[in-house]
Structure 1
């Protein structure tokens, strides 16, 4: 069974998209709260135009922000898939997860993404909003996010431009105004030295919408960065709640 997730391995964070993964294990049973929420009337999803408007508001004060809508995202997916499939990711199960993450079936999902370059080389912050018209996909992403499970791929290796890199991912504690919140740290090392390609990401579910805010680059104070991202996530939550 395909599982919709807000998976945050470095590659997905770099592409700033929500995606899908495939695992041999079923997701843990949803909590009573989650089950009751699934039985409640589903919130109305946002149109492609509304999703893009929310993202534009999130980066309104940022000069040079690059915003792409769902049509542009769909057009870029084949190239993203080819890129990931050429990375020789090990162990094999993680290669499968990451490769599938970059071959998103986004039919029934209205999306928009914005990226803002940071002050340092290679530093950036991305903002992603996805609104689910497909109830089945929305249900699956809720189950997977609530599980907060890295599915055994908290450590793996990959090759990029002839270089072998080691990646690790871990779940962090975070709370926000969203109904469900996740926070993830990803790190990349080359020959034992950490390189500024990792990321910190916070994500939240709001009705039929999923929001992700991710920072890539060097971080001196981990908790301060998480707090900063949560603050921005809360702004996104407030914008989405205005549309409900």
Structure 2
């Protein structure tokens, strides 16, 4: 499996892998403990956005990048329906880590209005997903999933991606976010004999808006990816607030 094919994982797989994406260097992550995710006062304020507004936010975030592929809510709907039936622990080993992943993974995001963009660069790929939540239970499920604060014992796992088992090292990163709740996960996937894919996923919730930004690279290390991903997530919330 190539790095480039992993950058373009289908939405359903991306949602399941959100809890395991990125790493901060070319060596396996060996931290003994993980910092807690950013948690602010839980709020439910902020009206939901329309399909056109959500797409506008995604479009502004990618700017003039000609490589961007943007999916609007109409295209996203069937993908979200497919993701709904998938197991959050799909293909994860060992078993105790699969159980943890199942507990802290939300695969049902059908109670949202959504848009996404994939940008494929020469050395870095990024996926931006904006969800405007229309269902109270969906918001509650996301909020609970973002409370994951410790993956001790599950820093190193294997995961099935497109039918292929990939060894993965994970770490929760402690980054400040403007959102009510945020969880940043760094992962390093082995994609060849001596090749690794570094990836960082920022998941953030504020009011009725859920933002997921994933940066992946075979050459750029996680700290740089994490800073750029969080900056883009914060920018997304600023754009959302301007429309509410």
Find the aligned partners of 1:97 and 1:46 in 2 and give their Cα distance.
Answer: 32
Find the aligned partners of 1:54 and 1:90 in 2 and give their Cα distance.
Answer: 37
| Gap regions ≥5 residues in structure 2 | 1-5, 19-37
Aligned equivalent of 2:214: 214
Find the aligned partners of 1:217 and 1:112 in 2 and give their Cα distance.
Answer: 23
Give the TM-score, by structure 1 length: 0.70
Find the aligned partners of 2:178 and 2:106 in 1 and give their Cα distance.
Answer: 30
Deviates more, 1:160-169 or 1:63-72: 160-169
Q: Give the deviation of 1:207 after TM superposition.
A: 1.5
| Aligned CA distance change for structure 1 residues 239 and 190 (closer, same or farther; 3 Å) | closer
Contact 2:155 2:170 in 1 (8 A): yes
Deviates more, 1:200-209 or 1:74-83: 74-83
Aligned equivalent of 2:76: 73
With a CA cutoff of 8 Å and minimum separation of 6, indicate the structure with the bigger relative contact order: 2
| Aligned CA distance change for structure 1 residues 139 and 223 (closer, same or farther; 3 Å) | same
Contact 1:199 1:215 in 2 (8 A): yes
Find the aligned partners of 2:46 and 2:110 in 1 and give their Cα distance.
Answer: 18
Post-superposition Cα deviations, 1:170-207, rounded to whole Å, max 9, x if no partner, equal 100111322223221011126874422x4112232221
Find the aligned partners of 1:20 and 1:220 in 2 and give their Cα distance.
Answer: 20
Find the aligned partners of 1:103 and 1:139 in 2 and give their Cα distance.
Answer: 10
Aligned equivalent of 2:136: 135
Q: Give the deviation of 1:165 after TM superposition.
A: 2.1
Find the aligned partners of 1:115 and 1:168 in 2 and give their Cα distance.
Answer: 24
Q: Give the deviation of 1:157 after TM superposition.
A: 1.4
Find the aligned partners of 1:140 and 1:82 in 2 and give their Cα distance.
Answer: 16
Aligned equivalent of 2:64: 61
Deviates more, 1:111-120 or 1:187-196: 187-196
| Aligned CA distance change for structure 1 residues 114 and 152 (closer, same or farther; 3 Å) | farther
| Aligned CA distance change for structure 1 residues 50 and 168 (closer, same or farther; 3 Å) | same
Post-superposition Cα deviations, 1:126-178, rounded to whole Å, max 9, x if no partner, equal 11111111112212322331443559643321345675421122100111322
Find the aligned partners of 2:40 and 2:175 in 1 and give their Cα distance.
Answer: 19
Q: Give the deviation of 1:210 after TM superposition.
A: 1.0
Post-superposition Cα deviations, 1:79-126, rounded to whole Å, max 9, x if no partner, equal 6689989x7432245557778999933332111110000113xx4111
Post-superposition Cα deviations, 1:4-43, rounded to whole Å, max 9, x if no partner, equal xxxxxxx89944555699xxxxxxxxx9964xx45xx642
| Gap regions ≥5 residues in structure 1 | 1-10, 22-30
1:234 aligns with 2:228: no
Give the root-mean-square deviation of aligned CA atoms.
Answer: 3.9
Match of 1:109 among 112, 135, 138: 112
Counting only pairs closer than 5 Å after superposition, residues 144-223 of structure 1 correspond to structure 2 as: 144-150=145-151, 153-160=154-161, 163-189=164-190, 193-196=194-197, 198-223=198-223
Q: Give the deviation of 1:226 after TM superposition.
A: 1.9
Aligned equivalent of 2:27: none
Find the aligned partners of 1:147 and 1:82 in 2 and give their Cα distance.
Answer: 22
Aligned residues: 217
| Aligned CA distance change for structure 1 residues 88 and 200 (closer, same or farther; 3 Å) | closer
Give the TM-score, by structure 2 length: 0.70
